[in-house]
Amino acid sequence: MAQSVSLYTPVIYIAVLLSVLVIFSTVYRKRKLRSLEGMKPWYPTHTSRDIYETLAEMAPKPPTKVLTSALLRRATEDIRRVVKIREAKGALATLHQKGSVSDDLWLRFTKSEKLMELELQDCANEANKIKEGFASTLFSSAQEIAQNDAIRQRLGNLDKIRDDFKKEMENANITASKK
Amino acid sequence: MSDSRYSYDEKSEVWPYFGATLTALVIVPWTISKVNRLRTVKKDLEEQKSYDSGFRSPNDDQIQKFKSRTKKEPFLSWNNLFFAISWLAFGCFAYMIFNHELSEEKDFFDPYEILGVAYSATEKEIKSHYRKLSIKFHPDKVRDTVNMTREEIESRFVQITKAYKSLTDDEIRENYVKYGHPDGPQQTFHGIALPKFLIEGNGSPIVVACYTIFIGFVLPYVVGSWWSGSKVYTKKGIHAESATKFFEIMAKERTDEISHEAILDVLADSEEYKILLPKLSKNDIKSILIAHLERKPVKNENEKYVVISRTTTLLEGYLDIVSAFRSNEVSQKILDVQKAIVQAIPLSQLFAGEVLQIPFMNIDKVKSSKVSNFKALEQLNEKDLHSCLRLATQYDAEKVIKAAQHIPKIDIVDAHFKIPGEEIITPKATAHVVMKLKVHSAINSKTPTPHLVVEEETDAILRNPFATNESGPTLPFAHAPFFPGFHKTKWYVYLVGERDNKIIEGPHELTRLDLSNLELTKEESVNDDKINICTYKIPMTQLTPENAGKYSFKILLVSNSYFGADSLHQLFMDVVNEPEEDEQVNAEIYDMSEPEEDTIAGQMSQLRGDKVKRSTNNESDDDLSSEEEDLSDIDTDTDADNTSDESDDEDPSDKKIE
């Protein structure tokens, strides 16, 4: 009674369905990959790492002292960044939960955090290459250097703060002299 | 047996109902929201009308035009057009429904109606009635007329007989009860409320195409754009990119290096402006912002208004981000920039902001008169004012005084911590801050403070201590003659730790406040009966500290519109361990009143207890570390360093084991 359905109909149906799904998934994955590629790194440059790597790759190997100090600079910068990232992490978590920042930023930040970990590991490996067990010494010195840098920066900033306050006082004196 | 088939709505009987329902589904909520919006906009504008000082900025008419354009939506818009079309469609459907007579349903069989007897009629009555009818309508008795043919007359008689039988004959009656017709089951119809031309013939491809377009393209597009749109803007209504830019600065720079200028720079770099004004670069926007602050005209004034009117939302978004970093310093700077933009005062002249925000004042007058704040202004009498400020006329001096009087300043006359239902502050409890606020005019600081009445803890207050925050009248729009928009006045309330200057609670927004004190005359304001005291309570998300002791805090009330309207108050939290007997008594009372809830409450407090431990531990760690050294910033650095160091050390060793 019913009009006979061609055998090809279900086959075509399934083929179309599957191909659409496959196309979707490949396109989706490619786009996701591209968006990850296009993601801006949290810290775009790392000069001290570049310096160290150039030195390490030089044909006549530079003296160990030079390499060590370059590595120390690199570790210092790493420490500074790790600290900054850890400080910001808590705030970002709160903000992300509240919906005050985008998912992209969260993704970018967490990815950079992972990159930072890799960088630290790489740094430790390099240190151990110079001398077995040197990594812990390297990082504790680097930490001290970072702290010292921070204090120095703060000290240097004091002059500017003093000048600012001076200016503010002068402005306030406009009124004070009137009294 | 039964033969069913689909029939389309050929006479357009049903589908207008369908259409009308569908359109009603859209236009009813739409209309309600439209009416509501019209009403609230009108109400807003009336209730929150700002004080008019009579001062007009040079480009006032343009600003007013821009303001009204942003507030009222234009009459001729796509939105309104679609709205009108939908109503028109609804009208058409309604017209079709009312003008279409329902064709009589021939298949419907009601024996009572055919016989013309009441539903309550007894069998006897039916019989006698039938007899009468059969005599009257018998085909042998009725002659052919022009109106009726022989067949019709016969069929009428058959109907009457059938009706009679279905009420009296058992078998036929059963048929009637079962199938609704004395002859047995009838044809069933399944109608589809669509006009036939859409389904058959030329219409069907169109319908299929519409369906495909709607399901396959329009729906995914709408949902997709809604989703990505909701991702593009943050909860605070700023573009995600703008939020990211500001967050990056907060995360990377030191807080003391974020200056007013830096904030203005980020503002100029906002993604919003790239969308709204794609032709302008970051520097163009910055120069527009600066031109506004300096009250100078730019080439395209309209661009300026667009740029300036967006700043409020952006800065509020920044404020939200800063609060997560708990930086009081940067919050204050953001609010400084906010005030500067609202009142159009250059960043280099913020020190004289109090006076510069008053109409007719400028930096030259401030410099020559040496009047740069409210205090100095208050000491001048009106005659001095005229000469001292080099105002053109006496009339202007009056305006200056009036405008300054209408700048509200809040004094925190009292503030203390409070735990509902407790006399003391116990450890690990949810407390709030009760503030007593006295509003006075910025140039009348000597108003007396009436005797404060201690608030009795009624049931209503215990249930919701923060109800008072919502009770006052809404604050009016700010008096800001240079700002191209309606700027809502509010105060941000912060609770800040005294020691490390970090935000502990806030910002909370104080948007409702009774400003009636501003309307008092000088004579009246001496009398403390007339002075109104308001209450504001700051809810606290953090619990009170675990250990007993005295903790010091300060409360900051920061205006988002006026310079010199801020307020600062120091307060202490005296945490005392609760005497144990007291606790038992409380527990008993609690048991007696609500025994069932006790378990839930117990669980709740347990849950909270866990949380408490964690949070207070964190706090005490912080406290300890900041006690050791005063350089708090570096200090936290070292903390983090230590931990990071440890983990770093572990990493390579782990590797080795592997």
A76, A110, A175, A178: which to substitute to probe chain B, counting the most B Cβ within 10 Å? A175
Q: What is the mean pLDDT of residues B342-354?
A: 87
Q: Measure B234 CA to nearest chain A CA, in Å.
A: 5
pLDDT at residue number B284: 92
Cα(B579)–Cα(B598) distance, integer angstroms: 21
Which among B234, B244, B252 has the least Cβ separation from residue A99?
B234
pLDDT at residue number B5: 54
Structural domain includes residue B529: yes
Q: Are strands B4-8 and B188-192 parallel, antiparallel or unpaired?
A: parallel
Cα(B333)–Cα(B253) distance, integer angstroms: 15
| Residue of chain B with shortest Cα separation from A93 | B324
* Window B:334-373, CB contacts with A under 8 Å: 351-352, 366-367, 370-373
| Residue of chain B with shortest Cα separation from A128 | B652
Lowest mean pLDDT among A8-22, B144-158, B398-412, B589-603: B589-603
Helix, strand counts (H, E) of chain B: 25, 9
The total of structural domains in chain B comes to: 5
Q: Is the pLDDT of residue B639 over 60?
A: no
Are B162 and B31 members of one domain? no
Which among B404, B350, B411 has a CA at the least distance from the CA of B380?
B404
Contact between chains at B324 and A168 (C-beta distance less than 8 A):
no
pLDDT at residue number B7: 63
Contact between chains at A98 and B235 (C-beta distance less than 8 A):
yes
Q: Is the pLDDT of residue B650 over 50?
A: no
Contact between chains at A87 and B651 (C-beta distance less than 8 A):
no
* Window B:597-656, CB contacts with A under 8 Å: 631, 633-634, 636-638, 640-645, 648-649, 651-652, 655
The domain that holds B182 is classified in CATH as 1.10.287.110
Contact between chains at B325 and A79 (C-beta distance less than 8 A):
no
pLDDT digits (tens, 9 = 90+) for B435-445: 888 888 888 77
* Window A:118-157, CB contacts with B under 8 Å: 120-121, 124-125, 127-128, 135-136, 139-140, 143, 146-147, 150-151, 153-154, 157
pLDDT band at B387 (very low <50, low <70, confident <90, very high): confident
Q: Which residue has the tokens 């100090």?
A: A69
C-alpha distance from residue A108 to each of A35, A88, B651 (Å): 10, 13, 23
* A82 near B CB under 8 A: yes
| Residue of chain A with shortest Cα separation from B639 | A83
Which among B247, B325, B371 has the least Cβ separation from residue A101?
B247
Q: Measure B592 CA to nearest chain A CA, in Å.
A: 40
Are B89 and B169 members of one domain? no
* B520 near A CB under 8 A: no
- On the CB side of B454, CA atoms within 13 Å amount to 5
pLDDT band at B388 (very low <50, low <70, confident <90, very high): confident
Count chain A–chain B contacts defined by CB atoms under 8 A. 135
Q: Measure B371 CA to nearest chain A CA, in Å.
A: 6
Q: Helices B240-252 and A103-130: crossing angle, nearest 10°?
A: 30
Is the Cα torsion angle B448, B453, B459, B461 positive or negative in sign? Answer: positive
A45, A104, A105, A138: which to substitute to probe chain B, counting the most B Cβ within 10 Å? A105
pLDDT at residue number B320: 92
The domain that holds B529 is classified in CATH as 2.60.40.150
* A79 interaction partners in chain B (CB closer than 8 Å): 641, 644-645
Which structural domain range is residue B223 located in? 201-232
* A45 interaction partners in chain B (CB closer than 8 Å): none
Q: What is the mean pLDDT of residues B333-347?
A: 92
* Window B:403-462, CB contacts with A under 8 Å: none
* Window B:294-333, CB contacts with A under 8 Å: 317, 320-321, 324-326
B17 token code pair: 């109902």
Contact between chains at B352 and A171 (C-beta distance less than 8 A):
yes
* B255 near A CB under 8 A: no
Q: Is the pLDDT of residue B491 over 90?
A: yes
* Window A:85-124, CB contacts with B under 8 Å: 85-88, 90-92, 94-95, 98-105, 120-121, 124
Residue-by-residue DSSP string for B511-540: -B---GGGG--TTGGGSTTT--EEEEEEE-
pLDDT at residue number B147: 65
> In chain B, what is the straight-line distance between the N-terminal and C-terminal CA atoms, in Å?
81
Contact between chains at A174 and B372 (C-beta distance less than 8 A):
yes
Who's near B86: CB < 8 A, 6+ residues apart? B23, B26, B27, B30
Q: Is the pLDDT of residue B97 over 50?
A: yes
Question: Average pLDDT for consecutive 10-residue bins of chain A (179 residues)?
Answer: 74 94 94 85 88 88 88 92 91 91 89 92 90 88 92 88 83 56
3-class DSSP state of B55: coil
Contact between chains at A83 and B252 (C-beta distance less than 8 A):
no
pLDDT band at B647 (very low <50, low <70, confident <90, very high): very low
Q: Is the pLDDT of residue B576 over 80?
A: yes
* A179 near B CB under 8 A: yes
Contact between chains at B240 and A82 (C-beta distance less than 8 A):
no
* B64 near A CB under 8 A: no
Are B128 and B223 members of one domain? no
Q: Measure B42 CA to nearest chain A CA, in Å.
A: 31
Q: Measure B615 CA to nearest chain A CA, in Å.
A: 13
Q: Are strands B567-575 and B549-559 parallel, antiparallel or unpaired?
A: antiparallel
Whether the Cβ atoms of residue A78 and residue A109 lie closer than 8 Å to each other: no
Are B566 and B595 members of one domain? no
Structural domain includes residue B245: no
A175 token code pair: 């009124």
pLDDT at residue number B624: 36
pLDDT at residue number A17: 94
Cα(B250)–Cα(A17) distance, integer angstroms: 49
Could you report the predicted ipTM of this complex, rounded to two decimals? 0.83
Contact between chains at B370 and A178 (C-beta distance less than 8 A):
yes
Q: Is the pLDDT of residue B235 over 80?
A: yes
A46, A71, A92, A102: which to substitute to probe chain B, counting the most B Cβ within 10 Å? A102
pLDDT at residue number B143: 66
Q: What is the mean pLDDT of residues B204-233?
A: 85
Q: Is the pLDDT of residue B651 over 70?
A: no
| Residue of chain A with shortest Cα separation from B238 | A100
Cα(B357)–Cα(B362) distance, integer angstroms: 9
pLDDT at residue number B71: 65
* B630 interaction partners in chain A (CB closer than 8 Å): none
pLDDT at residue number B228: 77
Best-predicted range by mean pLDDT (B86-95, B421-430, B511-520): B86-95
Are B86 and B160 members of one domain? no
pLDDT digits (tens, 9 = 90+) for B3-62: 445 666 666 667 788 888 989 999 999 999 989 888 887 777 766 677 777 777 777 888
Structural domain includes residue B463: yes
B30 token code pair: 């739409």
B167 token code pair: 């009420």
A110, A158, A167, A178: which to substitute to probe chain B, counting the most B Cβ within 10 Å? A178
Contact between chains at A87 and B251 (C-beta distance less than 8 A):
yes
Are B81 and B223 members of one domain? no
Cα(B297)–Cα(B301) distance, integer angstroms: 7
pLDDT band at B102 (very low <50, low <70, confident <90, very high): low
Are B144 and B84 members of one domain? no
Q: What is the mean pLDDT of residues B330-347?
A: 92
3-class DSSP state of B435: strand
pLDDT at residue number A96: 92
Structural domain includes residue B436: yes
Q: Measure B328 CA to nearest chain A CA, in Å.
A: 14
Which among A85, A124, A153 has the least Cβ separation from residue B648?
A124
pLDDT at residue number B623: 40
Which among A95, A102, A161 has the least Cβ separation from residue B231?
A102
3-class DSSP state of B5: strand
pLDDT band at B591 (very low <50, low <70, confident <90, very high): very low
pLDDT digits (tens, 9 = 90+) for B501-529: 899 987 899 988 888 888 777 777 777 77
Which among B538, B543, B539 has a CA at the least distance from the CA of B614?
B543
Structural domain includes residue B351: no
Q: What is the mean pLDDT of residues B115-137?
A: 79
Are B469 and B533 members of one domain? yes
Q: Is the pLDDT of residue B453 over 90?
A: no
* B636 interaction partners in chain A (CB closer than 8 Å): 87
Q: Is the pLDDT of residue B598 over 80?
A: no
Are B470 and B600 members of one domain? no
Contact between chains at B640 and A86 (C-beta distance less than 8 A):
yes
Contact between chains at B376 and A179 (C-beta distance less than 8 A):
yes
